[in-house]
Amino acid sequence: MVKRQLTLRQKSILQFLKNYLKINGYPPSLRDICAEFGIKGAKNARKHLEALERKGFISRHPNRSRAIDILGGAIESTAPVTSVPIAGSVQAGEPHLAVEDIVGHVKLDSAFFDLDGSFVLKVEGESMIGAGIAEGDYLLVKPGSEVANNDIVVAMLDGEATVKRFFRDDPVITLRPENPEFKPIKIVEEEVGADINFSLIGRVINVIKSV
């Protein structure tokens, strides 16, 4: 059977299956998978297993409990899975009030992501669809103000948060959308702190999509 490419979530679940089997001597239950990845409902966890089986990475026995066999050569990476905070949502559209409280966590593999100090934000709005960022996507954000022109950033403007592409042409900072239906936001640096409250929260380093 020719194996098909896995999504990042499927890779994480497959690695979890292997680690769990190695430690406990038997595969995890659907409830164990739900608890590990914050999946709501055994039905949704079962769909991930069905995808892994369909793509040739595991085999299951429907008439036996916890009957999951890991097929050879599935995943060689032993990188740890890290819990990263979801710090609310950010508007890909007009700026709106930022949600700063931690609303949950997501498990990510450090082999694929730079997780040191990073956090996740959920996208609302469609101003960045030209950059492949759609409503409902999750952004992995590296905190800090060190950004370069053309970076996609999360910024605070007068107490509200937005995600845009960053450009600086002194003395003007432009937060540019990737959707012609939205207008760029222009900020004169001399006005920051006096007439305008502006700060950079961080740089978007990855976009995580649901499939």
**Looking at residue 80, what is its pLDDT?**
62
Tell me which of 3.90.850.10, 3.40.309.10, 1.10.10.10, 3.30.1330.60 is the CATH number of domain 8-70.
Answer: 1.10.10.10
pLDDT in tens, 44-95: 988 999 989 888 888 887 655 567 888 765 444 445 667 788 877 888 876 6
Q: What was the pLDDT predicted at 78?
A: 46
Catalytic, 47? Answer no
Please give the chain's pLDDT, 211 residues, in tens.
Answer: 445 678 888 888 998 888 888 777 778 888 889 999 999 888 998 899 998 988 888 888 765 556 788 876 544 444 566 778 887 788 887 666 555 566 777 778 777 787 888 889 889 999 999 999 999 899 999 998 889 999 999 998 888 889 999 999 989 999 999 999 999 999 998 888 777 888 899 999 999 886 5
Q: Which two tokens stand for residue 210?
A: 């649901």
Note if 183 is an active site residue. no
> Which one of the listed residues 18, 127, 145, 210 is annotated catalytic?
127
Domain residue limits, the chain? 8-70, 81-208
Q: What is the pLDDT of residue 77?
A: 45
Among 118, 164, 183, 186, the active-site one is 164
User: Residue 24, SS3?
Assistant: helix
Q: What is the pLDDT of residue 34?
A: 92
Is CATH 3.40.50.300 correct for 81-208?
no
E strand map for the chain:
58-60, 68-70, 81-91, 96-97, 104-109, 119-124, 138-143, 152-157, 160-169, 172-176, 185-188, 198-208
User: pTM for the complete prediction?
Assistant: 0.60
